[in-house]
Structure 1
């Protein structure tokens, strides 16, 4: 709000190193619901970008950038290339046409087949251009993916016709709109064509279990703006492996020809193969890729997870958390318990109870919890955490499936009866302001992994219900 047009500000990286200077040309208030509805076609908080948008400030700024220096990368520097470097490298290959391939996942045989088919279709060069910035929670980590890309490029692609470059891009998971953006970016890197496959940049399913975008919606939008973009689309449908022909064909063709075909979903890769220490089959992936994935994969019962208990004050969160902690320790788990009251005296000391401070408190706890989970630890968080958007932002800090939201449900009248500290009474008398359940709203979860009716269930029964969920999901062995 204090910034004015014409002022200059320094943009710094997380280590406070200056990267660029912006001369401010615009300062304007933005509308979250309008932008989310028009760019992402949803305001559902299960969309990772929608949840993140709820943590942004009230104003946008824009203006001319003067670059001071580019960020330093110490991992695979030979493949960290600027647009100019990539264009020069492609020019040396001597092809008029270049098709670019975007991915945020490990490359398997299906991707290899798809890229080589696209290259042959245009009769030109291929740019393998994976995004190696922030991607969807739960994706294979960047370093593992970069090792796979490097190995495949050096062993299985014709380097006289192919360039590999890592793109430092944070995925927005914006589906169709993101496909257009990806096309524009690749044009800047020298591509004339761009591969758009099934469910491009898809964020998964919404809070009602429905896909955010149709499988080929990105292709339809790209085709509409192809001429304006100046980049031609190479569309592909889903490929499947047909043992009878010993290769990949489009699913529609396989079904039309009556072929039997086989596929392996991402869930099967994780749960049926890697979790059990089984090597992926050769028709699905190269042996080097299978080895790298096996080296980095942890079986699910050894993976970390976060149990996040949310509910009104005095609903029973802390009591259930303590009982669950003991039950998990009895099963050999080492537990970190982050209780709201304790957190307030240490990690979030100095924060008040305004909405902004409450969100900051939730995100601080969420960050600590996500680091514990990332290193395969187990954390139980017991906080009121009244705002749905903040809880979803924490969910998006962790790999998909590792955040278990538990709604500790009790009517406000019951919570007030249980309140031995008299906090509800003080809030109703006006002695405490902004108290959840009295003069500050509580937004209950729309689709929690576990819903506990604490009027009907005792604290021990509630803890056992969470335990049953963890066993069902494979985090605990029976």
Structure 2
């Protein structure tokens, strides 16, 4: 028999009394401890502030298995996605049930204590298959993140919270469920419609939200997530400034803006069920859901991973379990003849419909073109222009990849000199050998360490790019996956130009300035890229350059022509 969960609008937080805090801190001197990553910190905060009610801690094995098998907790309460504390094998082997584990943030500040009830090694492939619908990381970026981030052992048990994670940014917007309930009561809001977003909002979104709120007779909780950043996301601070301008366009006392540290998994319908449970715990009576909500490829022009509309259908089947009304989002378009927005299903033949995609918006911002008033609010556009300067004022990374001897270092030096002559941006050279000596000296040439070296280069380049500089990277970078990770990281901040130095291996061996090919052929050196270790050529680089057919200066000219065509230089 299914038991309906009793969602308590006034569920107490898991924060203990201040006198208990002092007791725990005193006892914790002997506790083992774990420092949480970003995803884990988001989960902990929602556990402690009771946005994840009725959970009282990280899931035990029984709870985990029940959620995977039945999408419910052992008591019958609906719960779609495991919320588990993943730890290293080393830490797991040092723990025993009945012990306590100190939970700390990345700086070592103690936030909570977990009373260990279960320690087990899950089948992560099975979990991915059940939650995401696939275990293939190439098909689903959420699965890729899951496998990359999740440690191999789980620890479950109830938690006692000492402090919520400290946030120094926008504290007035980081409302807990108890605070939103109090605000709703003070304002006399009996019906509240929740809106989940991580994207920028414009005129069409205002009309869409207003229509849904009026039809439901509800006030609005605009509840953007500020958990883990995703590649290509707008700068978080800019987004919040845009949200603050956006809510000013609504009638007074109709909308409230609040931020929630929700770590999105992009698990489709299951994700949307969890979103709805969280919004119910924040006091919402209604929840707006789009046709592609929770999909990893929503709104980016790619084919959806989950069937269109499946999120709405699954939530509609479970509204009784959650106690929230699902409101389907109706997409709005601007009709020039009427000079107003109408629902797309109300468009009549012959009407002149105008839209601007997110890709087109970014292009207009980068090329300093007009953004029409019918599309967005001038105050929002002003904030966006700060985050998306024209390309000739953006930072960018030139990522040269190819075999040893392909001409990467020589071309990098020519580019460095030319950029220094231009002197309009700071320029940094991250040559493969220089990085190996100064940044990755302790790494070997195993595949794992090669990938780590490329990620380090990508991180440094992303910081340079974010701050408006030019990074010239020249590693061998033989594997496609880490190159793609670097691309995704850097494109969130500026330009990324991948240059495949496709000089043939035979020419590279003839050059062999370092003698590595000769040593490899003589059996004196192992793991040499191109000899006994593969080089996976980039699938879609911006440029391919063969230095057996051109001089370094000519190769540099190819790069500069591309940069000029794309608007990065003038």
TM-score (norm 2): 0.74
SS at match of 2:197: coil
TM-fit CA distance, 1:470? 1.9
Match for residue 282 of structure 2?
189
TM-fit CA distance, 1:396? 2.2
TM-fit CA distance, 1:276? 1.9
Q: Measure, in 2, the Cα distance between the counterparts of 1:397 and 1:240.
A: 32
Root-mean-square deviation (Å): 3.2
Q: How does 1:297-446 map to 2 (within 5 A)?
A: 297-332=388-423, 333-400=425-492, 402-446=495-539
Q: Measure, in 1, the Cα distance between the counterparts of 2:266 and 2:356.
A: 23
- Say if 1:388 and 1:31 are closer, same or farther in 2 by CA, change over 3 A: farther
SS at match of 2:545: strand
Mapped contact 2:450–2:477 kept (Cα < 8 A): yes
Larger radius of gyration between Structure 1 and Structure 2: 2
Matched, 1:244 2:244: no
Matched, 1:129 2:232: no
Pick from 218, 223, 227 the counterpart of residue 313 of structure 2: 223
- Say if 1:353 and 1:188 are closer, same or farther in 2 by CA, change over 3 A: farther
Q: Measure, in 2, the Cα distance between the counterparts of 1:340 and 1:46.
A: 31
Mapped contact 1:54–1:389 kept (Cα < 8 A): no
- Say if 1:406 and 1:150 are closer, same or farther in 2 by CA, change over 3 A: same
- Say if 1:127 and 1:408 are closer, same or farther in 2 by CA, change over 3 A: same
Mapped contact 1:306–1:404 kept (Cα < 8 A): yes
TM-fit CA distance, 1:380? 0.8
Q: Measure, in 1, the Cα distance between the counterparts of 2:124 and 2:545.
A: 35
Which structure is richer in relative contact order (CA contacts within 8 A, separation 6 or more)? 1
Q: Measure, in 1, the Cα distance between the counterparts of 2:126 and 2:429.
A: 35
- Say if 1:416 and 1:55 are closer, same or farther in 2 by CA, change over 3 A: farther
SS at match of 1:398: helix
Match for residue 149 of structure 1?
243
SS at match of 1:233: strand
Q: Measure, in 1, the Cα distance between the counterparts of 2:251 and 2:524.
A: 70
SS at match of 1:156: coil
| Alignment deviations for residues 275-334 of structure 1 (CA, whole Å, 9 cap, x no partner) | 4274x3332223322333334442111101111112222222212222222333344443
Q: Give the aligned length.
A: 471
SS at match of 2:224: coil
SS at match of 1:357: helix
Mapped contact 2:402–2:500 kept (Cα < 8 A): yes
SS at match of 1:158: coil
TM-fit CA distance, 1:190? 2.5
Q: Measure, in 1, the Cα distance between the counterparts of 2:301 and 2:373.
A: 33
TM-fit CA distance, 1:34? 8.0
SS at match of 2:353: coil
TM-score (norm 1): 0.86
| Alignment deviations for residues 107-136 of structure 1 (CA, whole Å, 9 cap, x no partner) | 211111111111112222321001123333
SS at match of 1:81: coil
- Say if 1:326 and 1:55 are closer, same or farther in 2 by CA, change over 3 A: farther
| Alignment deviations for residues 153-202 of structure 1 (CA, whole Å, 9 cap, x no partner) | 3552432x433211123444555554444333323323333222354355
- Say if 1:8 and 1:213 are closer, same or farther in 2 by CA, change over 3 A: farther
Matched, 1:105 2:199: yes
Q: Measure, in 1, the Cα distance between the counterparts of 2:248 and 2:298.
A: 36
Match for residue 293 of structure 1?
384
- Say if 1:273 and 1:438 are closer, same or farther in 2 by CA, change over 3 A: closer
Pick from 10, 13, 36 the counterpart of residue 105 of structure 2: 13
Mapped contact 2:222–2:255 kept (Cα < 8 A): yes
- Say if 1:273 and 1:426 are closer, same or farther in 2 by CA, change over 3 A: closer
Q: Measure, in 1, the Cα distance between the counterparts of 2:510 and 2:210.
A: 68
